[in-house]
Amino acid sequence: MSLEGTSHDPTKTEISDWSYVSEGGATMVFSYVGAPHPVFSHSVIRVRKAPLNKRDLINDIDEEEPDDPSIAFQNEVTALLIPAIHLPRLESVHVTREWLNELSISAQSKRPELRKAADDIDLSRRKAVIATDLVGGKGWAVEIKPKWAFLPNPAYLSSETRESKMNNCRFCMHSIHKTAGGETAAVGYCPLDLFSGEEGRVSKALLCLWRSWVEKDGNINNLKIFVGGSLIKPEQALRQLAPLLGQPDATDINALFPAFNQKLLPLLTQTKLLSIMAGLQRTLDALDLEGLSRLWKIRQGGESPLGTGLTNPSMEEWVAFVKEYIATNQGRDYSAVPLESMSSEQMRFFIMSYLMSTTFKDCSVILRVGSDVPNSITAIDLDPKQIDRLHNWELQDRDIVANFQESVAEGWVKKDPCVDAGSSQ
Ligand SMILES: [Zn+2]
């Protein structure tokens, strides 16, 4: 994609044309709010962050900085799995140290204190990413982090975990684990309801997310609500969200839920995106982490933690992987294949497959409603995961199940089984 011409040059715009939206661990996002612009209108700019002591390194290398890897990964890998209509536009643009520094200064008053103490915009970068602004404009938008959409393939589960994992989804077990440790979690929300495609169950999932959002004062990971490009808190909902829901006179926040539900339900039940995401998660995680760990032990013949010494896949490897997955492996049932018969190449395939499954377990969807553009549902945060995370995931998987089983045995957790609507497909 062309980087030529001033129309693609954000440094030719005013800093005040960009308004801070939000930030995650790795990037900060600003929305274009300036005069109508051929490239930047309805767009955000995403800039990389770095720890405070590393953000000001001088980059003397004369070579052209490569485009942000998220662009190539989406264009060459994810785009083969998710229809383009459900992906944001991503484009690489040049930036300068001076411009990034001014942008950083402009954001200070809006940044969360905890983030400010840890990191800031990486001034050594010379490129940033322009993406579709999915939360700006005149309407409202909801970001949902749906998480794990399926119950695992029982073929590779141990006798200690099988019953728990076949009756309780990973998210529900994890919520209980988090609550026991004093962390915030959307307790009661079950992703299998959201992914079921059935109106009643999707509504139930939305209600649980809404209740947690209200109860935790908007501080939950799984639901965020934006009005006019800004993240809102429950206390702002009656003033800002109620008129957009056609409930301008509402006096109780929970009275807004039926209208909220009614606006989102058609998008969530009619879209193909959620069933595509669920299918990808399920078929990419064909062995469960337990099967993958056993395969690793068989092939390595030692006790080294899962993934030790392996390099992260290159972009070429990812492209080859996704083509092989689509051609031969998507939807294949591995239940009858003994782990002992699998080669090291197959193990590499399953490790990449697990990493990619995690990308889809960890991504978010943004629903835009009633704004100046058509309603839409878009998947975001689809970056590749790193191999060095595998061992932690393995430990976490064991911890979550063990803690869940303990809570059940002690009698303080009583829950209905989670129902996987897609398990027979
Ligand atoms: Zn569940």
Q: Quick check: helix, strand or coil at residue 393?
A: helix
Whole-number Å distance, alpha carbon 177 to ligand 1 midpoint, is 13
Residue 254 in this model has a pLDDT that exceeds 50: yes
What is the amino acid identity at position 134? L
Residue 89 sits in the same domain as residue 165: no
What is the structure's pLDDT at 403?
93
Residue 385 lies inside a defined structural domain of this protein:
yes
Domain boundary among 77, 98, 133: 133
Say if residue 282 is in the same domain as residue 395: yes
How far does residue 288's CA lie from ligand 1's centre (Å)? Answer: 17
Q: Which of 77, 101, 133 is the last residue of a domain?
A: 133
In a domain, 119, yes or no: yes
CA distances from 237 to 133, 251, 274 (A): 21, 10, 27
pLDDT class for 59, splitting at 50, 70, 90? Answer: low
Same structural domain for residues 166 and 303?
yes
Q: Give whole-number Cα distances, 320 to 93, 309, 313, 315, in Å.
A: 27, 21, 10, 9
Please indicate, yes or no, whether residues 90 and 138 belong to a single structural domain of this protein. no
If asked whether residues 191 and 128 sit together in one domain, one would say no
Given a contact cutoff of 8 angstroms between Cβ atoms, the answer to whether 366 and 141 are in contact is yes
The dihedral over CA atoms of 164, 166, 169, 173, expressed in degrees to the nearest 10, equals: 0
Does residue 149 lie within any of the structural domains?
yes
Are 124 and 212 in the same domain?
A: no
Q: Name all contacts of 11-18 with Cβ < 8 Å and 24+ positions apart.
A: 11/94, 11/95, 11/96, 11/98, 11/99, 13/37, 13/40, 15/99, 15/102, 15/103, 15/106, 16/106, 18/45, 18/103, 18/106
Bigger pLDDT: 187 or 317?
Answer: 317
Query: Is the domain of 193 the same as that of 252?
Result: yes
Decide if 93 is inside a domain: yes
Based on the fold, state whether residues 359 and 250 are members of the same structural domain: yes
Pair (157, 146) in one structural domain = yes
Cα(189) to centroid(ligand 1), Å:
7
Q: What is the pLDDT of residue 61?
A: 59
Please check whether residue 27 lies inside any domain of the structure.
yes
> Where does a domain end: 133, 168, 191?
133
Q: Are 289 and 339 members of one domain?
A: yes
Ligand 1 centroid to Cα of residue 285, in Å, is 17
If asked whether residues 150 and 213 sit together in one domain, one would say yes
Residue 187 pLDDT greater than 90, yes or no: no
| 81 located within any domain | yes
Q: What's residue 1's pLDDT?
A: 43
d(CA 197, CA 402): 31
Residues 52-79: what's their mean pLDDT? 83
The domain tally of the chain equals 2
Q: What is the CATH number of the domain that holds 105?
A: 3.30.200.110
CA of 329 to the centre of ligand 1 (A): 27
- Residue 366 alpha carbon to ligand 1 centre in Å: 21
The amino acid present at 421, given as its one-letter code, is A
- Is residue 1, in this structure, part of any structural domain at all? no
Which helix or strand (DSSP H or E) is residue 48 part of? strand 43-51
Given a cut of 80, whether residue 424 has pLDDT beyond it is no
Question: Is residue 60 domain-shared with residue 14, that is, in the same domain?
Answer: yes
User: How many angstroms separate the alpha carbon of residue 420 from the centre of ligand 1?
Assistant: 9
What is the chain's percent helix, strand, coil content, to nearest 5?
50, 15, 40
Distance, CA of 252 to chain centre: 31
Judge contact between 110 and 44, C-beta under 8 A: no
Domain that holds residue 424: 134-425
- Please report whether residue 320 resides in a domain: yes
